Structure 1
C-alpha cells in the first residue's frame, strides 16, 4: 500500500515515522519532505508542492491515500481538488479549513454554536481598530485573521504595543495580506493546552493533551516562536478540565461541523486556555501541531494508519486509541538568532543511538549529509514514567545531536 504525505516540517517527519511502523504500509512518498523524511524507513521525498502536480503524481503512482500535513494546502482546497479527481485524501475540505484559515470566521463559528471562547471584535479598517484600542481593557490580544505561520498573535500589555501591532499587521503588511483583517479579543489569564483530535465528521476522538512552550527564552520570555518544546500529557489538563472541554467545546464544535455541512475527515486541533473561571477555546487548527505532534505520536500505542483509515470510513465510533502510560518531553533545537535572522547550511550530526528520538524540521539532505535549513531545525524526544524522567532523557538525548550555533530552552517540561 502506497501513501502520499504532503508537507515539509517536523510534524510530517513524525507522521511519516509513525505511519511507517504500520505493517499495512509499504511506501510513503513525502512531498516535498525534508532531511528527516529523506532517511526515514519506507519514505521517499518527491519535490512537488503544486496541487495539480500532486494529483498527477497520485494517479500515476496509484496512491491509496494522501495525508495532508500543513494548513496552507488545506486552506487552498487541496482536499476538494483531490476528491474531484477521484482520489482519497485525509484532511478537511476548504470550507472546514476556514476554522483555521480565518480567525474571524472561526470566532463567528464559536459564537454561533455556543463554544466557550473569549469576547472579541473584528476590524477591517485600520482607523477603526486604532480607535478601539484607545479605550479597551489591557492586556489585549490582537490576531491576524489569515494564516501567518503561527506568528500572527500579539499579546499587548499597553496601548502603544497594540498600536504597533495593528500598524505592522494592517499597514506594514508583515504577513502578506493575512493581517489586513484583525481580531481583537479579551485576554484570558491562565495556562494554555493543546488537544489534537481526529474526526470523521460524526465522532471526534481527542488525543492525549500537550503543553507547548512558545516563547524563545527560558521562563516564557521573549518573542513567540512556532514552538520551542512540549510536554505531553499536559499536567494542567485534569479530568475536570477534560470534561469541561468535551462538553463545552468539543461536542459543540462537532455540532457546528455537522450543521455547516463540512466534509471533515481529518485532524482538528483545539488550542485551549485553562483559567480560574473555566476552560476556553483560543483557536482551532485543522492539522496536527508542531512541535506537539512529535511528543503525542511518540506516546501513541495504536497504529496511526488504522486510526486514519477508521476516520476515512466514518468508523471512529467503533475504535479506541491507546496510549502509553508515560510522559514525553520534546526539546526543539533551533538556529541561533531564531525567530529573527539566522544562518543556514551547518552540518548536523546525530548519534545513531538517539536517531529514533529525533525529528527533523528545518533540515535538508544534500550530498549525503544533513544540513540546517531553517529556524527550528529539529526536535529531540525523551519519554519516561514521570515529567522529571522524561526531561532527563530528552536533555541527555540532546547532548548527542550537534550543529554549529544551535540554541535550545533549558526549561522545557518545567510547569509552574
Structure 2
C-alpha cells in the first residue's frame, strides 16, 4: 500500500511512525511534513489546506489510503473531494467535521439529543454577549465559534476577563472570522480528560484515555496553547466514568450525527470534564488530538491501517483493538514566547542522545544547512513508555533534559495530576 498523511506536526509524525509499522504499507508520503517526518516518509511540498493539490497528488501517485491529521482540511471538505475522485481517505466528511468547525452547532446538537454539557448562550453581537456576562457573572468560558488552532477558548475567572475575551474575539478579531459568533458557557469544575474513539458511523470503539495540558506554564497557569504535553491512560477516567462516557456521550453523538445527515467515519475526540455529576462535554474534535495522539498511538498494539480500513468498510466491530499494558507520557518542548510571538531557526541539539524506548516526535522543525532547526511554536514531543505513569514521567523528562535549543521552554509537571490519583 501507498499511504499519504496530511499535515506537518507532532500528531502527523506519530501517525507516520505508527502507519510505517504496518506490514501492509510499502510507501508513506506526508504533506507537508517536517524534519523528523522526512526521516520516515517522503515529504511533499503541498500545504495541508491545499485540498485540490493533495487530491491531484494522490491520483498521480496512486495513493491507496490518505490519512488526515489537522482539522482545517477536514472542515474544508477534503474527505468529500477525495471520495468524489474515487480515492480512499480516513477522516469525516465536511458535514460531520462541523462538530468541531462550529462550537455553536456542537452545542445545539448536544442540547437537542440530551448529551451532557455546560449550559450556554450564543451571540453574534459583542454588546449582547457583554450584557449576558454582566447579568450572569463569572467565572465563565468564552469560545470563538469557528476553528482557532486550539486557542479559541478563554476561561475567564472574573467578569472583566470575560468582557475582554468578547472584545478580543468579536471586536479585535484575534481569530478572524472564527469570532463572528461566540459561545458563552458555564465554567465546569472537575478534572479534564480526552477520549478519542474510532467510529465507522455506527460502531464506536474508544481508545485508551489521555489528559492534555493546555496552559503554557506549570500548575495550569498562563494562556492556552495547542497543548504542552499529555499522558495516557488517565486515572481520573475510572470504569464508571468510562461506562457513562460511552453510554451518554460517544454512542449518542455518533447516532445524533447520523440522524442529522452527518454520518461520521473516522476518529472523534471528546474533550470531557469529569464533574461531581459525571462526565460532561467541553468540546468535540473531528480528528486525533495533538499532543494526545502521541502517547495514545505509542500504546496502540493493533495495526492502525487495519483499523482505518475497517472504519472505511463499516466493519469496525470485527476488528480486535489491543492496547499495551503500559503508560505513556509526552512532554512538548516549545519555542520561547509561545503561544505568543517566537523566533524560528534555532539549532536543536541532543537528538542523537535519546535512549531506547523514547520517541521524539517532531512538530515544528525544519532542515537548514544540515542542521535540524526550530520552525514552529511547539517544536518536539518527547514521548516515553513505562510500566506505569511515574516511570514514564521519569523517562520522558530524562530524555527532554538531553535536548536543547535557544529559548526552549517546557512544563515540568506533565502527568502530575495522575500521581495524586495513584497515591490515593
Which runs of 5 or more structure 2 residues have no equivalent in the other structure? none
Q: 2:349 matched to 1:351?
A: no
Post-superposition shift, 1:233? Answer: 0.3
Which runs of 5 or more structure 1 residues have no equivalent in the other structure? none
**Alpha-carbon distance in 2 for matches of 1:141, 1:320:** 39
* Matched residue, 1:370: 372
- Provide the TM-score with structure 2 as the length reference: 0.96
Post-superposition shift, 1:400? Answer: 2.3
**Helix, strand or coil at the partner of 1:198:** strand
* Matched residue, 1:198: 198
> Is 2:199–2:267's contact at 8 Å kept on the other side of the alignment?
yes
Aligned positions of 1:1-400 closer than 5 A: 1-40=1-40, 43-49=41-47, 50-349=50-349, 350-351=351-352, 353-354=354-355, 357-400=359-402
Post-superposition shift, 1:262? Answer: 2.2
Post-superposition shift, 1:225? Answer: 1.0
**Alpha-carbon distance in 1 for matches of 2:189, 2:393:** 26
Give every structure 1 segment of 4 or more consecutive aligned residues whose post-TM-superposition deviation is greater than 4 Å.
none
Post-superposition shift, 1:365? Answer: 2.0
**Which deviates further from its counterpart, 97-106 or 375-384?**
375-384
> Is 1:351–1:401's contact at 8 Å kept on the other side of the alignment?
no
Post-superposition shift, 1:304? Answer: 0.7
**Alpha-carbon distance in 2 for matches of 1:236, 1:37:** 33
> Is 2:232–2:295's contact at 8 Å kept on the other side of the alignment?
yes
Post-superposition shift, 1:352? Answer: 5.1
- Counterparts in 2 of 1:353 and 1:151: CA distance versus 1, 3 Å: closer
**Alpha-carbon distance in 1 for matches of 2:259, 2:355:** 47
**Helix, strand or coil at the partner of 2:45:** coil
**Helix, strand or coil at the partner of 2:340:** coil
**Helix, strand or coil at the partner of 2:184:** strand
**Alpha-carbon distance in 2 for matches of 1:83, 1:352:** 44
**Helix, strand or coil at the partner of 1:141:** strand
**Alpha-carbon distance in 1 for matches of 2:278, 2:354:** 44
**Alpha-carbon distance in 2 for matches of 1:5, 1:189:** 37
**Alpha-carbon distance in 2 for matches of 1:353, 1:133:** 49
**Which deviates further from its counterpart, 222-231 or 9-18?**
222-231
**Alpha-carbon distance in 2 for matches of 1:407, 1:400:** 13
**Helix, strand or coil at the partner of 2:179:** coil
**Alpha-carbon distance in 2 for matches of 1:263, 1:38:** 34
What is the root-mean-square deviation of aligned Cα atoms in Å? Answer: 1.2
